[in-house]
Amino acid sequence: MKKILIKNGLIVTPYETKEQSVLLTNGSKISDILPRKNARTAKGYETIDAGGGFVMPGFIDTHVHGALGVDALDGIGAIRKIARFNAMHGVTGMLPTTLTHPMKDLLDAVKNVRTLMLGGGVKNGAQILGIHLEGPFFHLSQRGGQPPEYIRPPRPSEYKRYLRDGNKYVRIMTLAPELPGALQLIRLLGKKGIVASAAHSTILYPDFLKAVEAGLSSVTHVYSGMAGFVRIGPYRVPGLIESALVDDRVSCEMIADAKHLPAALMKLIYKMKGADRIRLVSDATVGAGLAEGARFSLGSVSAVVHDGVAMLDDRTAFAGSVTPLDKMFANLIKFVNVPIEDAVKMTSLNAARVLGMDDRKGKLQKGYDADIVVLNRSMEVICTIVAGQIVYKG
Ligand SMILES: [Zn+2]
């Protein structure tokens, strides 16, 4: 495999930002980060010039449904297409994510991800790090863009089938923790090392605390598919939104397309959760990469790309985003005034940590996987490297 030398960029590790340095890869790993003057004798490297831009750990997207007209539930070919689309946007690792669907379709999706992972991944695509099962165990009244006909309560006879291989393939399950039987499922997820994440839920704070005690450690797309406090008589009881923001034991997904959340709410999440407990997710649908006005369906739900986001046909709710992570990274800098090191934690390191992979991913460090994105000064992707292979050059 080629050895790569990346020069002329700010290297955001993200614990520090190194100037006047070069990054070297050898095989699938980062072999060194050196002061520029010490690397003059480096021979036999393919050189990438960052042009004064940024060299960062590749983006990791733990919530991506689709792109270019295909959904992760459409089969292996579709997942390949989504992984290649994401590589063009700087994503080096991703979890294809399911919608509520019949059990057979969800089992097929897990099987397809397994086949791809065992078969060496997707050529010229983001690495498949596992699968995120978003649902089907949700509360109907917070369904958002999830097909309502497939929403159902958790039953061990069903979910044990998804979880048969432990956390080898299923890495995150999003569920409504208030449903009967959900706490039992959360405990089982914990035992298997799978992240239990809450959304599409009506849970209130007292029950949220019980779910966290059972092992709930994450909240999916905070603010979407959930509500704020309710009044019970004269008393205010926090909803899932406030619970997610206030409890340091849970991390949060944030959709930073500047549509799902206006800048003020992104700032609020950043103030409350800090740089270590937020992971940016695209929640990108079939509509990602399609033109404004393009129509598509999520099961029985019709959606349209409108105003730069996926919306239900009747425009009453969002149905996922159409924005990949590179644009969201730029939004963080532009609209939320996040320092670049914090933004890199939120697009890479924190996801690696939640997936238990931060011993090899999410940082630029000697010995870590050579999963790298290079951005120019306008925050556009000019190169994506996955496990030491250049998979995209802009
Ligand atoms: Zn959702």
Per-block average pLDDT, block size 10, for the chain (394 residues)? 93 96 97 92 91 97 97 97 98 98 98 97 97 97 91 98 97 98 98 98 98 98 97 97 98 96 97 98 95 88 91 89 96 96 98 98 98 96 98 94
Tokens (6 digits) for 173: 């399950």
- Condensed to tens digits (0 to 9), the pLDDT of residues 61-117 reads 999 999 999 999 999 999 999 999 999 999 999 999 999 999 999 999 999 999 999
Tokens (6 digits) for 70: 């295909």
For ligand 1, the distance from its centroid to the CA atom of residue 340, given in whole angstroms, is 27
For ligand 1, the distance from its centroid to the CA atom of residue 65, given in whole angstroms, is 10
End-to-end CA gap in the chain: 21
Q: Which residue has the tokens 């704070």?
A: 205
For ligand 1, the distance from its centroid to the CA atom of residue 143, given in whole angstroms, is 8
- Condensed to tens digits (0 to 9), the pLDDT of residues 194-214 reads 999 999 999 999 999 999 999
Report CA-CA distances (Å) from 276 to 96, 168, 257, 280.
Answer: 23, 25, 20, 11
For ligand 1, the distance from its centroid to the CA atom of residue 134, given in whole angstroms, is 7
For ligand 1, the distance from its centroid to the CA atom of residue 349, given in whole angstroms, is 22
For ligand 1, the distance from its centroid to the CA atom of residue 53, given in whole angstroms, is 34
Query: Among the options 61, 207, 257, 283, which is catalytic?
Result: 283
- Closest by CA to 315, choosing from 265, 259, 240, 266, is 259
For ligand 1, the distance from its centroid to the CA atom of residue 146, given in whole angstroms, is 7
Q: Which residue has the tokens 């008589």?
A: 233
Whole-number Å distance between alpha carbons of 78 and 328: 23
Q: What is the CA radius of gyration of the chain?
A: 20
What's residue 267's pLDDT? Answer: 98
What's residue 42's pLDDT? Answer: 81
For ligand 1, the distance from its centroid to the CA atom of residue 63, given in whole angstroms, is 9
Domains of the chain in sequence order: 3-54+378-393 (2.30.40.10), 59-172+182-194+250-360 (3.20.20.140)
The structure's pTM equals 0.97
32 classed as catalytic:
no
- Condensed to tens digits (0 to 9), the pLDDT of residues 258-273 reads 999 999 999 999 999 9
The answer to whether 250 and 276 are in contact (CB under 8 A) is no
